[in-house]
Amino acid sequence: MRIYTGMVEGLYIGQPKPIGPEGAPTGIFKEPVESCLLTEMGLEGDTQVDRRVHGGLEKALYHFPAQNYEVLKQALSHIESSFVPGSIGENLSSSAVDDQAVHIGDTIKIGEALVQVSQPRRPCWKVNHKYSNGHMAPLLMSQAISGWYYRVLETGMISVGDSFELVDRLENSVPVAEVWKVFLEKLQSRMPPEAFNTDIVGLSPEWKFD
């Protein structure tokens, strides 16, 4: 197992704000904080509006690699100034690891907390509205750069500047990006939802087509 380490470069929480033509509430708008308590349900003071796709025990903390913004800038150069850390709704930003390096089921020590990678983020329509661009969600999925969620094993304080370190990896685990490859293959082949292979080790039972 290759041990990876990194540093928390940004920490973000947010309160509900309206988005889209009908002013639907969203928690995608985040503000930076220097430190925050990570509870089993997420960072204290952070709100996830739609628990079907964000928040809860299996999606308590959202990590988006800062370098993924460079991919977005290259693909959508006309709005590249919009792609700054914190803007896509992440709770945690870093540049040491990405969706290929991190595996589903990885147990990671972040500050005082201990977390486990549970699933990739499935971007919803609100991401498109956040950047006023309908290509955002498809791009994140097709390039497998949507970031990932953690389930919380041990609560604790997390601060900007804290180190994070891989402490355990499940046998036969796969990279976060690989889940998108399997998902899109099933989707493109028009297989029914139950055909998606959910026995990927460590993958959240919440992950499904519908």
Question: Cα–Cα–Cα angle for 46, 52, 53, nearest 5°?
Answer: 65
In CATH terms, the superfamily for domain 5-195 is: PK beta-barrel domain-like (2.40.33.20)
Please report the pLDDT score of residue 192 as a whole number. Answer: 62
pLDDT at 188 over 90: no
Q: What is the pLDDT of residues 142-167, one digit of tens each?
A: 999 999 999 999 999 999 999 999 99
CA separation, residue 144 to residues 17, 34, 61, 123, 151 (Å) = 27, 29, 18, 11, 20
pLDDT over 90 percentage in the chain: 76
Band of pLDDT at residue 20, cut at 50, 70 and 90? confident
Domain residue spans of the chain? 5-195
Across 121-188, where does the E strand assignment appear?
148-154, 156-159, 163-168
Q: What is the pLDDT of residues 34-79, one digit of tens each?
A: 999 999 999 999 987 666 666 799 999 999 999 999 999 999 999 9
Please report the pLDDT score of residue 50 as a whole number. Answer: 66
Host H or E run for residue 13 = strand 10-13
Please report the pLDDT score of residue 3 as a whole number. Answer: 81
Distance CA 54, CA 77 (A): 28
Band of pLDDT at residue 210, cut at 50, 70 and 90? very low
pTM above 0.75, yes or no: yes
- Strand order through the sheet with 61-65: 5-7, 163-168, 107-110, 113-120, 148-154, 61-65, 92-94, 10-13, 31-32
Distance CA 67, CA 85 (A): 9
